[in-house]
Amino acid sequence: MKVKALVERAFGREALRVKAPGARGRFGLRSTASYARNPLRWLRTLRDEYGDIVEAEMLGRKWFVVSHPDDIEKVLVKHAKVMNRDAYIHILQRTLGLGLLTSEGELWKRQRKLMAQAFTPRRIQSYAETMSAVTDRGVHWAEGSVIDLHAEMSRVTMEVVAAVLFGAGIGAEEVRVVSEAMEVVNGFYANSLEAILEVPEWVPTPRNRELSVAVKRIDAVLYDIIAERRRSGAKHDDLLGTLLAAVDDDGSAMTDQQLRDEAITLFLAGHETTALTLGYTLMLLGKYPEVEQRLKAELDSVLGGRLPTADDTRALPYTRQVLEEAMRLYPPAWTTGRESREPIELRGFTIPAGSQILTSQWVVHRDPRFFPDPEAFDPDRFEKGRAKQLPKYAYFPFGGGPRVCIGNHFAMMEAILILAIVMQRHHFELLPDQPLDLAPSVTLRPAKGVRAVVKHRPGRPRVAEAAE
């Protein structure tokens, strides 16, 4: 019998595995504590101390942190067929059900195909007028008022996504109910031990009960709208109308449960991530006046004070670069996780089946190998010629591979339109002595918000007022 077979028989297959370097420790307690204290710092420390592939045990599972673009591409693209979403997805299913973000296998393939019918280039462009009109009505801050940039962008994007998703089928009161409930949902994933430790939902902790009530409030709104659409049979030119009309090859359509799961996923992903991108962008513009001036010069030249359209988004390259650079520094999706169903090899290291594989936008986007002076806010990094020189997965704010965010073009158009409208009219002076504390959970949120004083741009009244 060969030596390899003897060793495997005596000590098990794990004894033969080529292990990646990493943080050892009994039962992963040290890694778990470090992650709980500050996951952003922990991930960067692992990369700095151990390299681009790091092995650690945490919460009773094997974790591999992968931080080089070439290896990230292998995880998300080359090995995609043997990858599931990471274990944390089970906690998200409490809220999102089995939507596109949380489903697997054949269900995911079917839902992806049906959802794609709502995110064709033509359909995405058709949402632009609604996005601009809702933003125009929603941006109404008084001169000198102090606002929380994240909270206000969250309010505006919630109204935009609600209008695009449901059209006239949802009123202000329903938007308020969903918005308040979504804050509870976000708070649960951002701050609760129940989410970190995966405490079963039947355990009657205050946080678990609060989440359950919030989900029921959202469900009541969503199921009422879906039922009314089915009763009326009328066609609607909004996102829900497209999803209701979407059919598979065999002629089957989404059930009420599937429509609900996709709708709440769109609320969480389509509203929260865009709000974060915009909030961080406004914060950075407040710190970098030269970037703000250049952005406003482009907006004045292209738009001249009018509302932007879908066609304008292609004529605002610097505006897009500003948003892309903000997402580099503060990626709303700060990690992307997978669980390998089969063993794979990366750089000669064996990653066993069942391992959790973590790729972190927060780490890679701030790697000086790919982004010189990585802490600086420099939108010129994404000028077309320079951006093409980057390794493909040095920048991946929307994930990658078959599970790349289906709404990435929708989100970018929404962000460009909203930023253009806001910055045509306003300047924001950040309050002094305001440290930015981050609360990484499902998304990368500011723990205490970002407060700023609103200043109106001279000669740039609100577009709605100018048109009256």
Give first-to-last CA distance, the chain, whole Å: 89
C-alpha angle 114-407-131 in degrees, rounded to nearest 5: 110
Q: In sequence order, what are the residues at sequence separation of 6 or more whose Cβ sits closer than 8 angstroms to the Cβ of residue 331?
A: 361, 362, 365, 397, 444
CB of 438 closer than 8 Å to CB of 40: yes
What are φ and ψ of residue 228, in 5° steps?
-65, -40
pLDDT of residue 125: 94
Query: pLDDT tens, 109-158?
Result: 999 999 999 999 999 999 999 999 999 999 989 999 999 999 999 999 99
Q: Is residue 448 exposed (0-12), middle (13-18) or buried (19+ Cβ within 10 Å)?
A: middle
pLDDT of residue 468: 39
Report H helices in 144-255. Answer: 149-166, 172-191, 193-196, 206-232, 239-245
Q: Which of 30, 149, 71 is nearest to 363 (CA)?
A: 71
Integer-rounded Cα Rg, in Å, for the chain is 23
Residue whose pair of structure tokens reads 């309050």 in the numeric block: 431
Decide the pairing of beta strands 61-66 and 53-58.
antiparallel
Written as one string, the DSSP assignment of 3-62 is: HHHHHHHHH-GGGGS-PPP----GGGHHHHHHHHH-HHHHHHHHHHHH-SEEEEEETTEE
Query: pLDDT tens, 274-325?
Result: 999 999 999 999 999 999 999 999 999 999 999 999 999 999 999 999 999 9
Which amino acid makes up residue 363? V
Q: Which residue ranges in the chain fall short of pLDDT 50?
A: 1, 3-4, 6-8, 10-12, 15, 461, 463-468
Ordered domains of the chain (ranges, CATH): 3-467 (1.10.630.10)
Q: Which of 96, 461, 74, 23 is nearest to 266 (CA)?
A: 96
pLDDT of residue 466: 40
pLDDT of residue 120: 92
